[in-house]
A = this chain, B = another copy of it.
């Protein structure tokens, strides 16, 4: 499914510094960037890096003097989503997990799965089909956590959210990830552009490794699951920040957009009893 995505951001650099952005759509075996343009004004030394996980596209910009910075990204992307049959799926034993997946079992800055071990087992520990287990988690998060803009900040973690029960998409994702890992289901953070998100913004959700595939889940239920354009994955928001800023550089404004560039879009959501998972990898 093709989408046009756009991000316009402005910063004021009061000093020299470095800005690392992760707003370029992933371009891999699943998702194709059909066309894209990143314009940075004023011109500066910039380079594209791969992060440690090997896929996320980081743009590192060297800001050599105080200035106002305009960033404009436009792309047309085929997100390449697919449905995966989840019927009859069982938990993958740890000795069968691919080595590169093991890291997504560990606790991380915002997903303290070690601290949620008993809670996760008490609430969701009786696993038959892990897809159903994660769907149950997502329902519990959706029902109990209040989506409340401004209720959390960049320090808020799953350990806070599970009790305080308010947050934004990032917090919903972190909590889902932490609960999965506590049950030995590998899980990772997913950021992207999202079609039909109102107000338009970047979005965060999570992937769990089930039946040999990374399956997407979104406990906010704000958007159709097949309308994402993937930006990055990582252990949590610390790995997959949209921007990492070094120096006295102030974020001013942001405009994000995601529109359909294809024929008829049929929104896909998980529905009760269905065993079709959606994957972007």
Contacts and interface: CB of A to CB of B under 8 A. Distances in A.
Interface of A: 17-18, 20, 45, 49-53, 58, 60-62, 93-95, 99-100, 102-103, 105-109, 112, 114-116, 118-119, 122, 144, 146, 154-155, 159, 162-166, 184, 238-239, 244, 246
A163 B116 contact: yes
Q: Is the interface of A mostly helix, strand, loop or mixed?
A: mixed
A118 B164 contact: yes
Contact of A20 (B102, B114, B118, B154): B102
Contacts of A114: 109, 154-155
22 contacts: A18-B93, A49-B99, A50-B99, A51-B99, A52-B100, A52-B102, A52-B103, A60-B94, A60-B95, A103-B239, A105-B244, A107-B238, A109-B112, A109-B114, A114-B154, A114-B155, A116-B163, A118-B144, A118-B164, A119-B144, A159-B163, A184-B246
Given A53-B52, A115-B155, A154-B114, A108 B165 contact: no
Contact of A166 (B108, B118, B146): B118
A99 B62 contact: no
Contacts of A53: 52
Contacts of A154: 114
B119 A163 contact: yes
A20 B154 CA distance: 33
Contacts of A146: 118
Contact of A164 (B62, B115, B244): B115
A163 B117 CA distance: 9
A50 B100 CA distance: 8
A163 B163 contact: yes
B239 A95 contact: no
Nearest to A120: B165
Nearest to A111: B109
Contact of A106 (B50, B107, B109, B246): B109
Given A52-B53, A106-B239, A118-B164, 11 more contacts: A20-B94, A49-B99, A49-B102, A62-B93, A94-B246, A105-B244, A115-B163, A115-B164, A116-B163, A119-B163, A119-B165
A112 B107 CA distance: 13
B51 A102 contact: yes
A144 B122 contact: yes
Nearest to A53: B52
Contacts of A52: 52-53, 99-100, 102-103
